[in-house]
Structure 1
Amino acid sequence: MDSFTKEDLEEALRAIASTISKCEKVQPKLKEGSPQHTLLIRRIKALIIASALIKRELGLD
């Protein structure tokens, strides 16, 4: 696995946080149970996991 600088990880964390926010804003507009809604929920969950892993790597947890 490649090594990432602290700055790389911090930038990725900001991008992930922004994407989570955008996804959460769209979520109420999608019909619950639709494929798009399910995909969005799974995407948000994956981004939250990625964020937690980056925070752990940075020692922020």
Structure 2
Amino acid sequence: MENYTKEELEEALRAIVSTISKCEKVQPKLKPGTSQHTLLIRRIKALRIASSLITRELESIP
């Protein structure tokens, strides 16, 4: 696995949090059961996982 600086991880986390927020704002506009809605739900879940992993990595940096 590549090593990233604390600054790179913090910037990535900001970008991910922003993207999650934007996706959540769009979600009510999509009809449940459509492929677009399903894809958006899966993207939000993946982004939350990425956010969690980055946060964990940041906490382990001295």
Q: TM-score, normalised by structure 2?
A: 0.94
Q: Mapping of 1:1-61 within 5 angstroms? A: 1-59=1-59
Superposition deviation, residue 30 in structure 1: 0.2
- Post-superposition, which runs of at least 4 consecutive aligned residues in structure 1 deviate over 4 A? none
Unaligned ranges ≥5, structure 2: none
Structure number with greater CO (CA < 8 Å, separation at least 6) is 2
1:5-61 CA deviation, whole Å, 9 max, x = no partner? 00000000000000000000000000001000000000000000000000000118x
RMSD value over aligned CA atoms?
Answer: 1.1
Q: TM-score, normalised by structure 1?
A: 0.95
SS of 1:33 mapped into structure 2: coil
Total equivalences in the alignment = 60
Whole-angstrom CA distance in 2 between matches of 1:32 and 1:49: 22
